[in-house]
């Protein structure tokens, strides 16, 4: 009997401890989370889909369609947060050249990454936090640059999230520098990210964290619900 009472007492103690768990939330982080607009994120995703295709070989000079239209729009959206940052936010294109014999992109082309740098407030703090997503999309065939390739999830979702982060975080001050990157070339070999990695190494960036946002609209952690295969076994993107 005494043993049974002791077991019941111990169970009660454990339950009470769990029931009284206190979570201390950072009030500033809570404010930023509360500022997130799901409507704005959806608008951004729909805008990305509206470029029809963001294939790396698609047009760069059409104002409404293709990869060029998408990176121009992303840059202009990011620049809207410059006033709120008090001049600490700088948005720029970072150009690079890829392609050639033996590569998945057969001809040499120039592509652009869109990079927004939110300068830290402490001049003695050289830490850098990277937050990235990729702006390009593609259809099933590697070099099909004319078919509809909406890329809503892969990776319009990640780009939309980054633009919302810039909007919210630019109005706040952080000791370290935060670099937001919408990179191109991902679907053909991570070209844009590789270029930025080489740049960071050459310039000796003190990177303390790298957060990549790829297909964050997924319903399943293993990507199984974000992609499907047609009856020919070819992968198709949603």
Tokens of residue 94, six digits = 């970072």
Instruction: Delineate the domains of the chain, giving CATH numbers in brackets.
Output: 25-216 (3.40.630.10)
Indicate the DSSP class of residue 157. Answer: I
Tokens of residue 114, six digits = 């869109």
Q: Do 188 and 144 form a contact (C-beta atoms < 8 A)?
A: no
How far apart, in whole angstroms, are the C-alpha atoms of residue 186 and residue 180? 16
pLDDT at 26: 84
Q: What sign does the dihedral 176-129-110-71 (CA atoms) show?
A: negative
Residue 131: helix, strand or coil by DSSP? strand
Q: Tell me the backbone φ, ψ of residue 89, rounded to 5 degrees.
A: -95, 130
Q: Do 230 and 223 form a contact (C-beta atoms < 8 A)?
A: no
Residues in the chain: 238
Tokens of residue 189, six digits = 């070999």
Q: Which residue has the tokens 């990157």?
A: 181
Which burial class, exposed, middle or buried, applies to 10 when counting CB atoms under 10 A from its CB (0-12, 13-18, 19+)?
exposed
For the entire predicted model, the pTM comes to 0.82
How far apart, in whole angstroms, are the C-alpha atoms of residue 111 and residue 176? 29
Helical (H) or strand (E) element with 159? helix 158-169
Residue 183: helix, strand or coil by DSSP? strand
Low-confidence ranges of the chain (pLDDT < 70): 1-22, 219-238
Q: Do 104 and 81 form a contact (C-beta atoms < 8 A)?
A: no
């Amino acid at each position: 009997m005494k043993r049974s009472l002791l077991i019941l007492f111990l169970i009660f103690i454990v339950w009470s401890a769990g029931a009284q768990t206190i979570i201390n939330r950072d009030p500033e982080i809570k404010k930023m989370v509360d500022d997130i607009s799901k409507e704005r994120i959806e608008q951004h995703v729909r805008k990305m889909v509206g470029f029809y295709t963001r294939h790396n070989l698609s047009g760069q000079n059409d104002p409404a369609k293709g990869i060029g239209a998408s990176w121009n729009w992303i840059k202009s959206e990011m620049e809207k947060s410059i006033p709120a940052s008090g001049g600490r936010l700088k948005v720029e294109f970072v150009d690079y050249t890829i392609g050639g014999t033996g590569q998945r992109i057969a001809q040499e082309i120039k592509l652009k990454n869109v990079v927004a740098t939110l300068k830290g407030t402490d001049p003695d703090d050289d830490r850098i936090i990277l937050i990235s997503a990729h702006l390009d999309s593609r259809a099933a065939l590697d070099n099909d640059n004319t078919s509809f390739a909406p890329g809503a999830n892969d990776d319009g979702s990640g780009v939309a999230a980054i633009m919302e982060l810039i909007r919210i975080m630019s109005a706040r001050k952080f000791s370290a520098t935060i670099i937001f990157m919408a990179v191109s070339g991902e679907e053909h070999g991570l070209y844009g990210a590789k270029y930025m990695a080489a740049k960071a190494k050459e310039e000796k960036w003190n990177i303390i964290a790298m957060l990549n946002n790829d297909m964050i609209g997924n319903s399943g952690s293993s990507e199984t619900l974000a992609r499907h295969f047609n009856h020919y076994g070819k992968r198709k993107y949603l």
